[in-house]
Amino acid sequence: MTTTLHDGTPASAATPIRTNAIARAAQRLESAIQWSTELLAVCLMVAEVSLLLTNVVFRYALHDPLVWGDELASLLFIWLAMIGAVIALQRGEHMRLTTFVARMAPGARALCNTLTDVITVAFVLLLIGPAWEYAQEEWAITTPALGIPNTFRVMSIVVGAALMLAIAALRLTERAAPRDAAKSIAIVAGLAAVLYFARPLLAALGTFNLVLFLVIGVATLVAIGVPIMVAFGLSTLAYLASATQAPLLIVVSRMDEGMSGIILLAVPLFVLLGALIEAMGMARAMIRFLASLIGHVRGGLSYVLVGAMYLVSGISGSKVADMAAVAPALFPEMKNRGEDEGELVSMLAASGAMSETIPPSLVLITIGSVTGVSIAALFTGGFMPAVIGALAMVAVIFMKSRRQSLEGVRKATPKEIGRALTFALPAVILPFVIRAAVVEGVATATEVSAIGVAYTFIVGTLVYREFDWKRLYPILVEAASLSGAILIIIGCATAMAWALTQSGFSAHVAHLMTALGGGKTGFLIVSAIAFVLLGSFLEGIPAIVLFGPLLFPVARALGVHEVHYAMVVIFSMGLGLFAPPIGVGYYAACAIGKVDPDRAMKRIWPYLGALIVALVVIAAFPWLSIGFL
């Protein structure tokens, strides 16, 4: 089985927790780290939201922007990213591929899980030294507005790496069998020795080292279940140390650059916004309104599922969160109407793939951050491709539901529809307000996410009144964890992308893509196939950070509009993300629906086939993506 964020299982969970005195002491220390980091993360989340809202008030209401506001927000942001990454490691919520590990025998699986922990220890050990050196160098640089050394910001990487080292080491102490730990340490030490003594030979291999370290190395680490951020970061560090003369602090500086973009501050805020929308009952209000409109027709609730995913998609920053908000509100009644559980999960997964381009998708924000494409243009261009995907889904649902029995289903009266609309209206308008504010330039993506959080909090507590205040602290921790897991991947992938670019790999890719023939059409076809495969393994954000800076310039050179290309790429990645047997989103949908993946697998193909047709239409008609720019 393939898992992604929120699998909730530590990497070494296959091995029972040991109960000797040393292990108990390790557990107490890990609990202390957990408590302190979670409290710090909550404080940082609250501070970021408060600071951004204050900036908005001063900029738009008082016309007196805080010149130091963005600077302080950026400083707090990278601390939030690193502390969130620490929490994600402790909770087992970093993106990782477990398809192959899950099929191993229990003994081999335990050894493999221990090996991933040792590899994580090796990565953070290699990272701490360059991070400390980089922090020292940054002392001479002071921030323009606050006038403080940049070291205060960069120390977040040092502290985060140290805490991750502690957690990974404690995990080994608590869970790893001594024999597995000894074998794993021997394997890692042996590989390190081989790389050290083989440096003269590796230096003579030239660009083949890219294939060895950044293709074979990354693929191997991902296949054995190493967190993707570790696979990217460790492979890049090993490449620079073994095959080049470049200092390792470059990796830290690239990580810093990748995680420090102020536009990425929208990531934790949109994650928090999505969690609040679900917790406040606003998502359920939207779904009830849609169900009152068309729930009485054949396939009505299936259409509601597609419509609900269109409304809530992109706001949370996590497809898992989107699906988790929709499924519990619809699945019980759909089962009562005789829908097969496998069919429901198939629709849910395909709807997740369909809605990948809907703003304010974090993939769109990431593309804008790493390629320089206008965020407003991407938000505008994302609507119609999703409409085409939704229509493809609707066509399949229509064909499948022609013989559905509606016995006992009652049509809602106009009064009931009006009452549902009145109740849902504050929730329904939020996604449109958020998207319109960014598209029309009223506020940046970061600012509007803070406004959305404040709006949701106020409306949820005053209008819907379903919020359990005990959930606030866990929601803030979860938002920090998910954000940290995403952002550190962006940081490590940025470092890896730098290595690929500096080595001339981008030039080779550009030459290869242009030499394939077929002009724009051939390039789009190859890109679509490549990103379907990448989406299966890497998900959208790491794939975009790695390959966006390489391929978008090629698209421009061939005359492909960058917004059109972005939509083709994102839709393709969505297909890969939710396509079995590898796609991580597919298994997340099965977990949410509590359905055996094998039961749903045979039913998802008509929906994915329809989405492939939609992808062809989106690629063939650029107007669908750029017609409203």
DSSP calls for 291-355: HHHHTTSTTHHHHHHHHHHHHHTTTSS-HHHHHHHHHHHHHHHHHHTT--HHHHHHHHHHHHHHT
Q: Is residue 10 part of a domain?
A: no
- Is the domain of 609 the same as that of 511? yes
What is the Cα–Cα distance from 393 to 77, expressed in whole angstroms? 39
286: which 2 tokens?
């939207």
Q: Is residue 16 part of a domain?
A: no
Q: Is residue 521 part of a domain?
A: yes
pLDDT at 611 over 90: yes
pLDDT at 4 over 60: no
* Cross-strand bridge partners of residue 470: none
Of 340 and 475, the structure prediction assigns the larger pLDDT to 475
What is the Cα–Cα distance from 111 to 102, expressed in whole angstroms? 12
Range 188-193 average pLDDT: 93
pLDDT at 246 over 80: yes
433: which 2 tokens?
């307000």
Give the three-state DSSP class for 190.
helix
Range 81-110 average pLDDT: 85
What is the Cα–Cα distance from 314 to 322, expressed in whole angstroms? 8
Among 555, 536, 535, residue whose Cα is nearest residue 544: 535
pLDDT at 330 over 90: no
Element (H, E) at 173: helix 151-175
Range 256-273 average pLDDT: 78
Range 120-127 average pLDDT: 93
Rounded percentage of the chain residues whose pLDDT exceeds 90: 20
258: which 2 tokens?
């990748």
Confidence of residue 260 (pLDDT cuts 50, 70, 90): confident
What pLDDT score was predicted for residue 324? 67
Say what the alpha-carbon torsion angle 393, 397, 398, 402 is, to the nearest 10 degrees.
Answer: 170
pLDDT tens for residues 342-400?
Answer: 888 888 888 888 888 887 777 887 888 788 888 888 888 988 998 999 999 999 988 88
Confidence of residue 5 (pLDDT cuts 50, 70, 90): very low
What is the Cα–Cα distance from 506 to 549, expressed in whole angstroms? 9
Q: Is residue 39 part of a domain?
A: yes
What pLDDT score was predicted for residue 584? 65
280: which 2 tokens?
């406040």
What pLDDT score was predicted for residue 6? 37
Among 209, 271, 111, 66, residue whose Cα is nearest residue 504: 209
Give the three-state DSSP class for 142.
strand
- Is the domain of 228 the same as that of 376? no
What pLDDT score was predicted for residue 512? 73
DSSP 146: T
- Give the position of tokens 């998207």: 435
- Is the domain of 173 the same as that of 273? no
Residue 294, CB-side half-sphere exposure with 13 Å CA sphere: 15
- Are the C-beta atoms of 142 and 115 separated by less than 8 Å? no
Last residue of a domain, one of 245, 260, 275: 260
Q: What is the mean pLDDT of the chain?
A: 82
**Model-level pTM?**
0.76
- Is the domain of 391 the same as that of 285? yes
- Is the domain of 476 the same as that of 386? yes
Q: Among 46-60, 91-105, 187-201, 459-473, where is mean pLDDT lowest?
A: 91-105
For the chain, the distance separating the N- and C-terminal CA atoms, rounded to the nearest angstrom, is 41
Q: Is residue 1 part of a domain?
A: no
What pLDDT score was predicted for residue 115? 92
Q: Does a cis peptide bond (omega within 30 degrees of 0) precede residue 360?
A: yes
Confidence of residue 626 (pLDDT cuts 50, 70, 90): very high
What pLDDT score was predicted for residue 18? 57
Domain carrying residue 288 = 264-626
pLDDT at 535 over 60: yes
pLDDT at 9 over 70: no
What's the Cα-to-Cα distance from 552 to each of 34, 106, 384, 458, 509, rounded to whole Å?
40, 44, 21, 41, 11
Last residue of a domain, one of 236, 260, 284: 260
pLDDT at 486 over 70: yes
Give the three-state DSSP class for 149.
strand
Q: Is residue 287 part of a domain?
A: yes
Last residue of a domain, one of 242, 260, 278: 260
What is the Cα–Cα distance from 279 to 501, expressed in whole angstroms? 43
Among 622, 618, 539, 625, residue whose Cα is nearest residue 575: 539
Confidence of residue 166 (pLDDT cuts 50, 70, 90): very high
- Is the domain of 131 the same as that of 242? yes
Torsion angles phi and psi, residue 93, rounded to 5: -110, 15
Of 44 and 402, the structure prediction assigns the larger pLDDT to 44
- Are the C-beta atoms of 490 and 545 separated by less than 8 Å? yes
What is the Cα–Cα distance from 82 to 93, expressed in whole angstroms? 14
Q: Among 54-63, 295-304, 502-511, 571-580, where is mean pLDDT lowest?
A: 502-511
- Is the domain of 172 the same as that of 281? no
- Is the domain of 106 the same as that of 198? yes
595: which 2 tokens?
């359905």
Range 466-486 average pLDDT: 86
Rounded percentage of the chain residues whose pLDDT exceeds 70: 89
Question: Of 12-26, 232-246, 290-304, 609-623, which has the strongest mean pLDDT?
Answer: 609-623
Torsion angles phi and psi, residue 6, rounded to 5: 70, 20
The runs of H, that is alpha helices, within 516-596 are 519-538, 540-557, 562-577, 584-593
Range 111-128 average pLDDT: 92
DSSP string, 425-492: HHHHHHHHHHHHHHHTTSS-HHHHHHHHHHHHHHHIIIII----GGGHHHHHHHHHHHHHHHHHHHHH
- Is the domain of 353 the same as that of 375? yes
Of 403 and 140, the structure prediction assigns the larger pLDDT to 140
Say what the alpha-carbon torsion angle 259, 263, 269, 270 is, to the nearest 10 degrees.
Answer: -110
Of 22 and 279, the structure prediction assigns the larger pLDDT to 279
pLDDT at 7 over 50: no
pLDDT at 319 over 70: no
- Is the domain of 248 the same as that of 329? no
CB atoms within 10 A of CB 194: 10
Q: Is residue 7 part of a domain?
A: no
Q: Where are the beta strands (DSSP E) in 57-185?
A: none
pLDDT at 8 over 50: no
Q: Is residue 544 part of a domain?
A: yes
What is the Cα–Cα distance from 201 to 213, expressed in whole angstroms? 14
What's the Cα-to-Cα distance from 105 to each of 14, 112, 224, 507, rounded to whole Å?
11, 10, 13, 43
Helix axes 282-294, 266-279, angle to 10 degrees: 60
Helix axes 341-354, 584-593, angle to 10 degrees: 140
Sign (positive/negative) of CA torsion 488, 501, 537, 105?
Answer: negative
- Is the domain of 175 the same as that of 34? yes
Of 99 and 120, the structure prediction assigns the larger pLDDT to 120
Number of domains in the chain: 2
Sign (positive/negative) of CA torsion 111, 117, 121, 123?
Answer: positive
- Give the position of tokens 């005195």: 21
What pLDDT score was predicted for residue 351? 86
- Is the domain of 355 the same as that of 251? no
Torsion angles phi and psi, residue 142, rounded to 5: -110, 150
pLDDT at 531 over 50: yes
What is the Cα–Cα distance from 115 to 14, expressed in whole angstroms? 12
Confidence of residue 282 (pLDDT cuts 50, 70, 90): confident
